[in-house]
């Protein structure tokens, strides 16, 4: 597939082989390492083949479909369509709003969960009564099945009549809000933020705990205040963890479908690219047009994911293989 | 968040203990707010439908297991069984494929290993949009819609990359000397993998299996689209509990509690390993 080969992590591989392998390969006889490589390839092959069959081959077929004029209601009425489907995608008026919805939902949720996650990680990074228990409770939202989270939030938390959010607002004398009908975008971002904050928190907490206590103490002895230590030392130390959390969070959320399908059905500016494609293909039965949306979505995702992945790829592999 | 850092660093003062206590209190308040939707879900699942739908909410009311009996009586059992088959089955196959692949990638780096890694990680991030239409049409033609094995097979494709990534990072931690010593003792590559390396990464393999299981158990999009009655799994079933006419809140909460229970319990038990796996080995 294009996104895998176009980039050149191979260059990295030649320059910086994994630390564990370089001295060994230099020492070993050529024939032995060749046999070893052959063995390695054999081990890789099954997983590689399965991955190609399930993910790569269907994408090639999707590309083929995107050049077909094909509606499932008229299955026999199939013809080559040239770039017609792509023209529909870009001039049909649904694509740009869907892209904006995706950016707002993913961007908003990533940002909010990152900030909240940083706050929670900072609160948890100190000794207090029941610390382990607090952490256990805090990771729960991330473990909750997204379909259940969407339903519970929609019907018991955000419902206009019996929702607990409105009840809490009522305690503060704030009038009830019809979240689900008036602010669908907010409801989606709320659920996603609730689910992903624990994920961000866990990564950032690991970052905070890897910070050397002695250095912080020295800074404190030298008279640096809490805020100054946080901005001058903790945040720079956290930088790579923040990047990692952002990239992984974005990649997981960019395919967001469950809360949109369950809570809003794409109404009120929540029709993301993945929901739009679903609607065109499985409600409108427009295979060709939906395939074109699919191809465009994939290309956009590849661009974002490649840029994002490349920014953390070194970090992932170096940290992972360091022993 | 500043105060948290401040209290740790602050020189001892009279006010220090009070500040620390306040920060702890605030922390617990935030924890309570975050956990509240889950707690409320469980609490509501024990109420009667009437009590669940009253506003302002009732905090003291008769509690019973009746909603659980109702929801199981309405046939939730088969959905839970289907979910179990799809997630356990796909997890087993994923691990069978991922362990050798990760071993091949890490302990004996093949040429252009980094290319290979990039390939596997990128398939994980390929939107379902890329493949769903042909997959649907092929399954339809082959009569495999609403087939739990077909769903499990697709879950293998989704979860394989992340499992390979995690396992690779665990294999990479095995000291070279251990592997080389086994080889000098005359163990073949395969025997070395089974006898020496595998036992050393088994805790990591458990974590990878758990994460694979979680993703499969929670998956909604494919399950909703590719199954209808026979092979329907739990996530798409939950939505059907919502009833346009009658009251459904307590039943929905009971069904959701049952649906999230296995993953939440497993996640609580294995939380330390979970973190590392989810960060794909980038964090110890």
pLDDT in tens, A219-275: 777 777 778 887 878 888 888 888 888 888 887 888 788 899 999 888 888 898 889
Model confidence at A60: pLDDT above 90: no
Give phi and psi for B280, each to the nearest 5.
55, 45
Section B129-139 average pLDDT: 84
Tell me what the pLDDT averaged over chain B comes to: 82
Model confidence at B95: pLDDT above 90: yes
- What pLDDT shows up at residue B124? 67
- What pLDDT shows up at residue A141? 94
* pLDDT bracket for residue B281 (50, 70, 90): low
Q: Choose, out of A63, A143, A245, the residue to mutate when testing the contact with B (most B CBs < 10 Å).
A: A143
Question: Per this entry, what is the length of chain A?
Answer: 323
Residue A37 is nearest to which of B108, B169, B175, comparing CB atoms? B108
A153-204 pLDDT, tens digit each: 999 898 888 888 888 888 898 888 888 888 999 999 999 999 999 999 988 9
Q: Smallest CA–CA separation between A122 and chain B, in Å?
A: 6
Of the candidates B223, B213, B271, B127, the one whose C-alpha atom is nearest the C-alpha of residue A293 is B127
Model confidence at A64: pLDDT above 70: yes
- What pLDDT shows up at residue A290? 87
> Residue A251 has which token pair?
């990649």
Instruction: Provide the residue ranges of all domains of chain A, joining segments of one domain with +.
Output: 85-322
Ranking A16-25, A308-317, B121-130 by mean pLDDT, the lowest is A16-25
Q: Choose, out of B21, B136, B282, B284, the residue to mutate when testing the contact with A (most A CBs < 10 Å).
A: B282
What's the CA gap between A203 and A110, in Å, rounded? Answer: 14
Q: Smallest CA–CA separation between B157 and chain A, in Å?
A: 6
What's the CA gap between A158 and A101, in Å, rounded? Answer: 21
Q: Smallest CA–CA separation between A189 and chain B, in Å?
A: 15
- What pLDDT shows up at residue B112? 65
Q: Smallest CA–CA separation between A57 and chain B, in Å?
A: 8
Contact residues on chain A for B1, CB-CB shorter than 8 A = 118-119, 122-123, 230
> Does A24 reach chain B within 8 Å, measured CB to CB?
yes
Q: In this complex, do B37 and A18 lie within 8 Å of one another by their Cβ atoms?
A: no
Do A199 and A109 form a contact (C-beta atoms < 8 A)?
no
CATH homologous superfamily of A85-322 equals MetI-like (1.10.3720.10)
- What pLDDT shows up at residue B216? 92
Q: In this complex, do B260 and A7 lie within 8 Å of one another by their Cβ atoms?
A: no
Contact residues on chain A for B252, CB-CB shorter than 8 A = 151-152, 155-156
Model confidence at A315: pLDDT above 70: no
- What pLDDT shows up at residue A195? 94
B179-238 pLDDT, tens digit each: 777 777 766 777 777 777 888 888 888 888 988 999 899 999 999 989 888 889 989 998
Chain B, 159 to 198: residues with Cβ < 8 Å from chain A are 160-161, 164-165, 168-169, 172-176, 180, 189-190
C-alpha to C-alpha distances, B39 to A293, B58, B195, nearest whole angstrom = 40, 14, 45
- What pLDDT shows up at residue A150? 93
Q: How far from each other are the two terminal CA atoms of chain B, in whole angstroms?
A: 24
> Does A87 reach chain B within 8 Å, measured CB to CB?
no
Ranking A12-21, A34-43, A56-65, A197-206 by mean pLDDT, the lowest is A12-21
Contact residues on chain B for A305, CB-CB shorter than 8 A = 122, 125
* DSSP 3-state of B117: helix
A76-119 pLDDT, tens digit each: 777 787 788 888 888 888 888 988 898 899 999 999 999 999 99
What's the CA gap between B264 and B129, in Å, rounded? Answer: 29
- What pLDDT shows up at residue B104? 81
Model confidence at A1: pLDDT above 50: no
Can you tell me the ipTM of this complex?
0.85
What's the CA gap between B242 and B90, in Å, rounded? Answer: 29
- What pLDDT shows up at residue A216? 76
How is residue B54 annotated by DSSP?
-
Residue B279 is nearest to which of A137, A248, A254, comparing CB atoms? A248
Question: Per this entry, what is the length of chain B?
Answer: 284
Model confidence at B35: pLDDT above 50: yes
> Does B267 reach chain A within 8 Å, measured CB to CB?
yes
The packing angle between helices B148-171 and A30-51, to 10°, is 150
Do B171 and B102 form a contact (C-beta atoms < 8 A)?
yes
Give phi and psi for A79, each to the nearest 5.
-150, 160
- What pLDDT shows up at residue A15? 40
Model confidence at A74: pLDDT above 50: yes
- What pLDDT shows up at residue A32? 61
Q: What is the pTM of this model?
A: 0.83
Percent of chain A residues topping a pLDDT of 70: 85
Tell me what the pLDDT averaged over chain A comes to: 80
Residue A129: CB partners within 8 Å, gap ≥ 6?
B24
- What pLDDT shows up at residue B114? 67
* DSSP 3-state of A214: helix
Q: In this complex, do B122 and A62 lie within 8 Å of one another by their Cβ atoms?
A: no
- What pLDDT shows up at residue B97? 92
Section A47-55 average pLDDT: 84
- What pLDDT shows up at residue B283? 64
Do B129 and A280 form a contact (C-beta atoms < 8 A)?
no
Do B159 and B215 form a contact (C-beta atoms < 8 A)?
yes
Q: In this complex, do B239 and A151 lie within 8 Å of one another by their Cβ atoms?
A: yes
Quote the strand ranges of chain A, DSSP E.
68-69, 79-80
Model confidence at B7: pLDDT above 90: no
Residue B7 is nearest to which of A126, A144, A210, comparing CB atoms? A126
């Amino acid at each position: 597939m294009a996104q895998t080969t176009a980039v050149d992590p191979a260059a990295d591989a030649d320059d910086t082989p994994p630390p564990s392998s370089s001295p060994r390969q230099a020492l070993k006889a050529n024939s032995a390492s060749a046999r070893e490589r052959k063995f390695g390839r054999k081990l890789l092959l099954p997983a590689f083949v399965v991955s190609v069959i399930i993910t790569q081959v269907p994408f090639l077929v999707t590309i083929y479909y995107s050049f077909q004029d094909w509606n499932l209601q008229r299955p026999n009425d199939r013809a080559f369509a040239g770039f017609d489907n792509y023209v529909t995608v870009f001039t049909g008026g649904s694509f740009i709003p869907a892209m904006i919805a995706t950016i707002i939902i993913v961007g908003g949720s990533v940002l909010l969960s990152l900030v909240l996650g940083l706050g929670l990680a900072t609160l948890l990074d100190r000794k207090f009564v029941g610390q382990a228990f607090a952490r256990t409770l805090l990771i729960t939202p991330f473990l909750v099945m997204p379909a259940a989270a969407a339903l519970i939030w929609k019907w018991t938390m955000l419902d206009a009549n019996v929702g607990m959010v409105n009840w809490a607002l009522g305690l503060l004398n704030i009038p009830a809000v019809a979240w689900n009908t008036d602010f669908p975008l907010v409801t989606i971002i709320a659920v996603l933020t609730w689910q992903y904050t624990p994920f961000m928190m866990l990564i950032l907490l690991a970052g905070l705990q890897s910070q050397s206590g002695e250095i912080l103490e020295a800074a404190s002895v030298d008279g640096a205040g809490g805020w100054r230590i946080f901005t001058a030392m903790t945040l720079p130390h956290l930088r790579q963890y923040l990047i990692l959390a952002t990239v992984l969070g974005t990649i997981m959320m960019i395919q967001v479908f469950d809360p949109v399908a369950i809570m809003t059905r794409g109404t009120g500016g929540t029709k993301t690219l993945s929901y739009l494609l679903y609607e065109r293909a499985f409600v409108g039965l427009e295979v060709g047009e939906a395939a074109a949306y699919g191809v465009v979505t994939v290309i956009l995702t590849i661009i974002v994911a490649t840029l994002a992945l490349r920014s953390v790829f070194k970090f992932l592999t170096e940290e992972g293989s360091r022993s | 968040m500043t105060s948290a850092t401040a209290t740790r660093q602050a020189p001892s003062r009279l006010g220090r203990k009070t500040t620390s206590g306040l920060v702890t209190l605030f922390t617990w308040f935030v924890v309570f707010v975050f956990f509240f939707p889950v707690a409320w879900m469980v609490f509501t699942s024990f109420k009667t439908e009437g009590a669940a739908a009253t506003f302002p909410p009732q905090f003291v009311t008769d509690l019973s297991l009746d909603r659980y009996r109702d929801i199981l009586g309405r046939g939730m059992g088969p959905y839970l069984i289907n979910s179990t088959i799809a997630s356990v089955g796909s997890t087993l196959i994923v691990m069978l494929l991922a362990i050798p692949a990760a071993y091949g990638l890490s302990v004996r780096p093949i040429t252009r290993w980094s290319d290979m890694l990039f390939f596997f990680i990128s398939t994980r991030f390929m939107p379902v949009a890329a493949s769903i239409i042909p997959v649907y049409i092929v399954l339809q033609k082959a009569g495999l819609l609403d087939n739990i094995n077909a769903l499990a097979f697709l879950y293998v494709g989704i979860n394989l990359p992340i499992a390979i990534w995690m396992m690779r990072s665990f294999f990479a931690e095995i000291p070279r000397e251990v592997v080389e010593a086994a080889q000098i003792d005359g163990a073949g590559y395969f025997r070395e993998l089974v006898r020496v390396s595998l036992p050393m990464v088994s805790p990591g393999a458990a974590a990878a299996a758990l994460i694979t299981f979680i993703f499969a158990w929670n998956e909604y999009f494919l399950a909703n689209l590719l199954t209808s009655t026979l092979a329907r799994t739990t996530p798409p079933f939950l939505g059907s509990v919502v009833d346009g006419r009658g009251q459904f809140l307590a039943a929905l909460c009971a069904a959701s509690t049952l649906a999230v229970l296995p993953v939440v319990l497993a996640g609580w038990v294995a939380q330390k390993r979970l973190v590392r796996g989810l960060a794909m080995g980038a964090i110890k």
